Amino acid sequence: MKILLTGASGFIGHHIKQALQAEHELVTPSHQDADFNTTINVEDWLPLLKDIDVVIKSVGIIVETKNQTFSRLHSDAPIALFQACEQSGIKRVIQISALGADENAFAPYQTSKFAADNVLRDLALLSFILRPSLVYGEGGTSLAMFKWLALSPVIPLPDGGKQLIQPVHVSDIVATVKQCLQADDGQTIDVVGPQAMTLAEYIQAIRVSMGKAKARIIPIPIQLIIPVAQLGHYLIPIMHPDNMRMLQQGNTSDVSPLIAFIGRPPVPVEDAL
């Protein structure tokens, strides 16, 4: 297959590229060729889609910057790309969305992805919308941050880290993408780890993988975390208040559809770490 992969320089995109390049002809446009800040019209994408069989969109950001907004990178450019795929006769599109990008979405990170997902579902395409939970693995920003946090024997966490998450290893994202390349029915799939765990349990698992004893967790009221995050995200972008609110909401889903799709359970956190 000849596959157009956007976001190949990012964490998830890089792992997808590494997994597919031996078996498929990959087209990974440069930032100049496919700048999601400017490719917001169907006509912008048509030249890049010549002779393409499959499009995989893995561009995404977790926080906005002066030059990168959720609306452009998650909605405007992807929607134009998906519509261009339909116009070009490309039948198979894989969209890397996010868990929480659904009817209950409230943060711009989620709602911007949900808007693009909905447009893609309505097009005459074989579409696969993958909604990962917290993705970790080699080269991942979140894992690096949690490893840094886990270095301390005393760790302050919002509400003691009781929030439920379902971390999924990047290799399971790749396995799901590979299955999408041969599946006959388009679908929306929540790509999650084998079981839910609290944020505190996840950080403790990271400490154990680093050969350290479990840390003491200090609960910090969420009412105090949000004001701190208002300022702290300028130094640590992932601390944005919206991310704190999404964390508080939880990030879990039923894993059985994923198991049925890829034919095996996802990798447990303890094994992957």
Q: Where are the domains of the chain?
A: 2-272
Mean pLDDT of 32-38: 90
Which of these, 108, 49, 52, 112, lies nearest to 81 by C-alpha position? 49
pLDDT at residue 173, as a whole number = 98
* Residue where the block lists tokens 């190949």: 8
pLDDT at residue 212, as a whole number = 95
For residue 244, the SS3 value is helix
Count of CA atoms in the C-beta half-sphere (13 A) of 133: 27
pTM check: above 0.75? yes
Lowest mean pLDDT among 45-59, 125-139, 159-173, 212-226: 212-226
pLDDT per residue over 213-250, tens digit each? 999 999 988 777 767 666 555 555 566 677 777 887 88
Mean pLDDT of 117-136: 97
pLDDT at residue 248, as a whole number = 79
Lowest mean pLDDT among 210-214, 242-246, 254-258: 242-246
Report the DSSP beta bridge partners of residue 128: 94, 187
pLDDT at residue 223, as a whole number = 75
Query: Cα–Cα distance between 248 and 243 in angstroms, integer?
Result: 9
pLDDT at residue 127, as a whole number = 98
Which tokens in the block code for residue 126?
């074989």
What is the chain's mean pLDDT, rounded?
Answer: 92
pLDDT at residue 196, as a whole number = 97
Which tokens in the block code for residue 273?
């770490």
Query: Cα–Cα distance between 82 and 56 in angstroms, integer?
Result: 10
Residues above pLDDT 90, as percent of the chain? 81
CATH superfamily assigned to domain 2-272: NAD(P)-binding Rossmann-like Domain (3.40.50.720)
